[in-house]
Amino acid sequence: MASSYTVKMPQLSDTMTEGVLVEWEKQPGDFVSRGDVVAQVETDKAIMDVEVFREGYLSGPLTPVDTSVPVGEAIAYLVASAEEVEATEAEAPAGGGEPGEGGGEAHAAEQPGQPSQPAASQPAPAQPESAAASHAPAGPAQPAPRPAGKKVTPYARVVARLMSVDLERVTGTGPEGEITADDVQAAAPAGAPAAQPAAPQPRKIPGEERDMSSLERAVAQNMQETLAMPLFRVNLHAHPERLQQAAKSMGVSFTVLLARACSEAIKGHPAINNAYQAGDKIVERSNVDVGIAVEAAKGGLVVPVLRDVNNRELTELAGSWKDLVDRARQRRLTPDEYEHPTIMLSNLGMFGIEYFDAIPVPGASAILAVGTVGEDGMGLTLSCDHRVINGADAARYLSDLKGLIENPDSWLEGGFPLIPEADWDVEVAILGGGTGGEDAARELAENGHSVALINDEALPGGECLWRGCIPSKAWRASANRMRDRAGDSLLGVEGTDKPRLNWQALEEHRREVLNNRGQMAFKADKGLKIDYRQGRARLTGEHSLAYTDAEGNEQTLTFGAAIIATGAPPFVPPIPGADLDGVETSNTIWDLAEPPKRLAVLGAGAIGLEMAQIFRDFGAKVTTFEVQNRVLPEVDGEVAKELGKLLEDEDDLTLHLGSKVTKIEGAPGNLTVHFSDSEGKDHQVTVDRVLMATGKRPQLDGLGLEAAGVDTEDGFIQVDARGATSAGHIFAVGDVVPGLMLAHTAATQGRIAASNLLGERTKYDQARDCGVIFTRPESAFAGLTEEQAKERGFDPVAAKTLVKIDAMAMIEGEEDGLIKMVVDKTTHRILGVHILADHADTLLGEAVMMVSGRLTVDQVAEAIHPHPTQTELFGDLARRLLGRLKRAAKKKARA
């Protein structure tokens, strides 16, 4: 050939020394252009395309398929005309050139000239791309990579590899600055091994021998390098069922979720992602690149790398992984797709292997070996480089990883359905038909899930409907009418200031309201195809329960998931005589034949104060006892203090704070309550009835929580912000969990639990909750108090305004109370609003939107409130607070 361009075996990575010709994409005589792929070659782990960067006609001699060719050796030629084409096949090379000789990393078409001759020396065995590093040690006689922009003798490269010298840092003394072996030895660190380039002769083993494939050579080289790692191992079991379920529900590979779990665990243990570098250095990395072993189509393992696992969306990772696996099995990966993982995974669980030792490649300090799933869970073995990771860190990492695997819903963005697929009697069983259970049931049923609602009453509604919110507000409404009559004369309305209570008429109306609402709820449940069952249920296993129906028959039910919403009954303290007839609770007070003339109330919380004022308005003389030195421990301290003062001024209502009831004796109509006051002096009072308003506590005995693996603490079921218990697929809401015991709280938590079972990521935040205590004036709150805000790390400021400055309050004669606003100084966000006022239940609506919507005091100050209304108080208060914050900011700036 008069003039030709040599198409050489390219060096496709910095450690590639040779390639195997897999297939010719073009044939002799084909015209090729710049960028065309003419052949495919196999490196140590991948099949790569060979591109040309000149145009011409492809000509022989062509390297035969399946021939191993050193980097830089000719595999074909380009000629200028079709007449010059030779359709011949080259002889397989007897030797090989040095890696990188005569070839750029990505350029296969080289300078004009005749085919280059094979170098005299044999090529060094290939090493895996994933272990590549210019300074990493290798096996005997393996040359170090050529430094960029420098000349170096072949022998110097071998010596550099043996003595762990980075050629990038060596200055050459040879001709034109060429680096020699003497330069390398002079630059070697103290104590470096002496150069011994001559490899020992291998022992001859009897039997048929063959050449190793490039992949086998890579593995062998890898093991030689890994011998330098001081490895240790830790192992344990983890139950992967939830993660497997998440993978199935989300349509994502289990391997991808496992890789993500490894990345999540690294957040708390960054040392796992570090690596050792020659020269006693530690490489710290923020990106988590997970190398995952995949079996290639023709045998052997390839380790594609899933990049940036800690930052990418799961859907994106899933798509990348599918593509990587498809091409890895055909060994068609680029070096960037299999080089330099920061942590590795290997899974042999499909072969029934419980535990095994996996070996990380240099550059990674840890590899997780995943075994099969047995009775104890899935075997996990973490192998670590002790130069980088100590035993305690490895143990803590593996323990945290176990937690993430078993509770993926705590970290998976987007969430996933938590209802396992199986032949259950019902998909979700709900224990309890109060607001929490009903709202959860309806949410699930409306989204197409089969739901059984097991409730211990004939109709749904729970405590709120039958013994709490609704019946008490019927009494409160009657008491309000009577109380309001006392103020009619202020507005010129006469002759109505001495109202008389018709108890029977009130009770008839109250019971009618309750029954109507119960029937409405029952019909709504039936309309949604909720399977309503009467009985008190108990869990008998992780996915089963039993209950006694209305006829006394024992029934069983299996379920995929469950929600516990059984509420909390009144708590009766161990006071002598607390079990006497005439001592009522918030469950039994509704059966009175007539209102008492004298009533003792134990407890000045929400229930106690509401009932105390209601019966006082009904005409009773009421004595209230509270062991604490304030009323309403659940509300803002200033609001409670102001309400306490107002109560002390009420006729026929006596309030004993800091007092303790020691004994009750007698019979209905003549009960004596013995108590000690705040100074320790003993007293007694005679009443018709006693109301125990000493709070509520869950009744967990008999629920079968242990059988289902549900943990409790201090008498409550322990849940996370989503309502999930330790059993994962079982949730708990309402009064059985710690926090506010309010009907709307239970309802909110029920909807949140249902939404998480449906695969949404919603959480309950008590800092955005609210409540109303129906005293007169009413006490209400939304969000945090100033003290609670400080505990949560805010820098709060608070301001208040008195209700009596409002025009409408003055007109209606309802001037008692205050409104208080708590704001974060930095963000101006409204953290809490606290109200003591008549109609606080209505005013609270705006406060709820401020807190829940995370509004700033600036926004409320700019809002236009209607006049004359009490909502104007919010705008006035916000403007005052904003002015104070601005003045403080200016003062700080001047300082």
User: H helices then E strands: how many in the chain?
Assistant: 20, 41
Joined tokens for residue 607 = 């229930």
**Cis ω before 61 (30° cut-off from 0):** yes
Cα–Cα dist 349/355, whole Å: 8
The span from the first CA to the last CA of the chain, in angstroms, equals 86
Cα–Cα dist 786/635, whole Å: 11
Q: Please name which of 132, 170, 121, 128 lies closest in space to residue 149, comparing C-alpha atoms.
A: 170
Q: Which residues contact 88 (CB under 8 A, 6 or more apart)?
A: 28, 60, 61, 62
Does the annotation mark 674 as catalytic?
no
The distance from CA 887 to its chain's CA centroid, rounded to whole angstroms, is: 41
Joined tokens for residue 552 = 């006394």
Q: How many other CB atoms are there within 10 angstroms of residue 468's CB atom?
A: 23
SS3 227: coil
**Cis ω before 868 (30° cut-off from 0):** yes
SS3 888: helix
Q: Please name which of 376, 381, 370, 409 lies closest in space to residue 245, comparing C-alpha atoms.
A: 409
The residue count of the chain comes to 895
Helix axes 254-266 and 391-406, enclosed angle (nearest 10): 130
Q: Strand pairing of 778-783 and 770-773?
A: antiparallel
Q: Please name which of 825, 824, 822, 821 lies closest in space to residue 843, comparing C-alpha atoms.
A: 821
Joined tokens for residue 880 = 């005052």
Long-range contacts at 51-55 (CB < 8 A, ≥ 24 apart): 51/106, 51/108, 52/7, 52/78, 52/108, 52/109, 53/107, 53/108, 53/109, 54/5, 54/78, 54/109, 55/31
- In the set 107, 239, 386, 674, the catalytic residue is 386
Which residues carry out catalysis? 386
